[in-house]
Structure 1
């Protein structure tokens, strides 16, 4: 009961690790990560830089790289590009393609997915979905619809909530509004979040179907308000959008 407040301890550890990072030539980007992510940044620094040095373990270093990838998308992109330059495998190219998508490098991502799909081992639905994501990011929504239609034809048993939502959004972007409404409704049944139903309500409002839009938005908002606090926090963007639509 006479110990230091936990906030002071965290701050002291953060300062010590920032100094360590600076002295060991790792201040960029670790100094900023530790500073802006108190506690979490320090833990990541220990896992990524200190523990692998103690253990000299390739496995520990690989685990460390996965932590920094989540914290620093640019670092993830650079590392993935270096790995691909060393050995051109599907795993390395797909990792780079994912990093490109995270950074909005959609044209580069599309090129990587096209190369994977053209190879003898690249015939997988996840890679075709990646190409559709890149096409959508480039604003080529009609092409994304075509890619996703091909995916469905080739792998009819493949299920992806994110892919289904992307299909609905691509249909809307391509001006196929009624099909988009049906797709939003279908994916909204099982998607782990309110985004499809809110987008459906927004599309209804855009089409002049205000009563339907308000009713759906009100239903979504009421459901989210009854959800646990952590769900409301995770869905705060869509709750706010639903409440705004419900008040129109």
Structure 2
């Protein structure tokens, strides 16, 4: 959906957008091609990186922001690849997603599928003021079976604590109107006992790690986080809480 949204956003009236879905050998291929603003050659190698956006996209409309980085993360999470092509400014762009085709078991084949990670029954409150990042984390957690409440501020998180009663708190550190450090400290007052908490932040230095631990976070993960690393960290905290 993000690829189509970008194509619409950056293609002027009278332009064309083509969407093609086809099977290519053992993969399913989705191609979104437009005749829009295109991508500068110097920016093309970095189009999927977080926190980068093309200068040509910032004049009258929002840039690409986190959107394409999140698309890439989700595609790779499902074992696929994504590529971008463009001849340059005002030459349009083509994004191609390739995903492995799902093999459907034969009728009568009843071997159970065992997932390496399972968050079923685990309630998680996640907090981040960046909507795209929040959507990504929620998607990943729900994909593994968790019950997720996602909010964009520390104040909203505190409002959720008494009713939602999360098993795990995941929070960004730098947020306007109340940061993650304050949130994890105040959370102790809103819940029975301490909620295991994970700081998920762009701050990677040892200084921030020490500060987050002193504030009450049990784990400190840096963005972008690998989904399996996040899930494994959640499970270790849940198991430690119950033991």
TM exceeds 0.5?
Answer: no
Flag the structure with higher helix content: 1
* TM-score for both structures, normalised by structure 2: 0.27
- Greater relative contact order (Cα 8 A, min sep 6): structure 1 or 2? 2
**Structure number with bigger Rg:** 1
Flag the structure with higher strand content: 2
